[in-house]
Amino acid sequence: MTYPRPDSLSLMLPLARLETLLRGFGDLRIALVGDLYLDRYLDIEPGVREMSIETGLEAYQVSRVRNSPGVVGTVMNNLAALGVGSNGGLEPGGKLVPVTVIGDDGHGDDLIRCLARLPVDPRHVLRDPARLTPTYTKPMQPVAATTSGAAGSAWRELNRLDVRTRGPLGDETRRELCKRVRAAFDECDGVIVCDQVVETGWGVVSPEVRAFLRQLSRERPEKLVFVDSRAHMGEFDFGTLKPNRAECLQSIGVDPTARDDGDVLLRRAVAAMVERTGRAVFCTLSERGILVATPQDRRSGTPVPDGATMDASSCNAGVERRPPRDLSGTGVPDLPLGVIVPAPPVRGEIDIVGAGDSATAGIVASLLCGATEIEAAVVGNLVASITIEQLGTTGTATPEQVVARWQEAFAAT
């Protein structure tokens, strides 16, 4: 199987078009429904060892604590870095609108302080005394040091400590949450759904909240509802879905470790998602890029074959389509196979934590500014390629960095 060459990406998204999209991000207002976590990084002082008298175990000496909003917060960090809401100035309410439930505790206080640094409208962040604020505590140990003894650039994450309520939201909290979901849905340009919790009904996006989002989506089919779900992607029959490869295959009951020559099973799973939702699907494939499939692929009876090139004029009109192929005897179903938009190359050590969230930010902001699915996937790839190069933290990318990455990857083509 072949894939589009990196030198075709500059035709998929010319630089002038990229800059136009980026300029539009500042005016967007985006709701985010889902699980808001506190990411707490504990930086362990290098070269300092102290033993606990009580236990005889080493007591790690923390020299710095870094708090950052995670899950929904990671997407918000990326949206803010890309400039979403930057044109709002001092306007009350900001441009990023999280709809979520956290605890009425110290971790929640820290999380609210983190949000205050972003262009966030916190009105729909509910605080429930019966809940723990979900928190990922990440002890970070330096694995290299400079000659001066200062921490090097490489960090190793030790065993993570997770804090969360292992149970469903109360009925009253869930009813209030649905009221807030409707309010945010009505006032925002688009909605991102971040369904992080694996256990059914334990997170913000419970079956009841998912059903309510389905109802809103059908009432307003023109509004973008972009869904990222770690364990329940197969339960979403609405919205624009963004699974990774494993989530795609699991949604049709296939073991993600199963051999899949030619991505036949993967494309079958993506096709099923497109058929179920009637919307585009963006399947992230790590270093390979993003597989994009749309309902138009099925209606046209033909996908863009991998390796297809496009002229610049096709970028605003969508993907160039070739005549139907005879797939008989190939084992490939005649379904919306889509096109793989390859990721730009990266160099050196990488940290993929948060890569999917950064891709979500780039894709959603681009779609809301009028990008085609292919253009949005290119932007998502560009953003993710920048964030994965930032080690020991969940990275972000600015518009200037996105333009520089485009120039680095494609200017010579």
pLDDT, averaged per 10 consecutive residues of the chain (413 residues), comes to 50 93 96 97 94 96 96 96 79 78 98 96 97 97 59 77 98 98 97 96 97 98 97 95 95 92 92 95 95 78 38 31 33 57 85 86 98 96 91 84 92 54
Of 161, 159, 228, residue with least CA distance to 197: 228
For the four alpha carbons of 141, 146, 150 and 153, in that order, the dihedral sign comes to negative
Secondary structure of the chain in the HEC alphabet? CCCCCHHHHHHHCCHHHHHHHHHHHHHCCEEEEECEEEEEEEEECCCCCCECCCCCCECCCEEEEEEEEEEHHHHHHHHHHCCCCHHHCCCCCCCEEEEEEEECCHHHHHHHHHHCCCCECHHHEEEECCCCCCEEEEEEEECCECCCCCECCCEEECCCEEECCCCCCCHHHHHHHHHHHHHHHHHCCEEEEEECCCCCCCCCCCHHHHHHHHHHHHHCCCCEEEEEECCCHHHCCCCEECCEHHHHHHHCCCCCCCCCHHHHHHHHHHHHHHHHHCCCEEEECHHHCEEEECHHHHHHCCCCCCCCCCCHHHCCCCCCCCCCCCCCCCCCCCCCCCEEECCCCCCCCCCCCCHHHHHHHHHHHHHHCCCCHHHHHHHHHHHHHHHCCCCCCCCCCCHHHHHHHHHHHHCCC
Contacts of 125 (CB under 8 A, 6+ apart): 36, 98, 99, 100, 101, 102, 112, 115
Q: Give me the pLDDT at residue 147, please.
A: 39
Cα separation, 162 vs 388, whole angstroms? 23
pLDDT of residue 298: 58
Domain chopping of the chain, boundaries: 6-132+166-410
Q: Which two tokens stand for residue 255?
A: 């073991």
**CB-based contacts of 221, cutoff 8 Å, min separation 6:** none
Which top CATH class is 6-132+166-410?
Answer: alpha beta
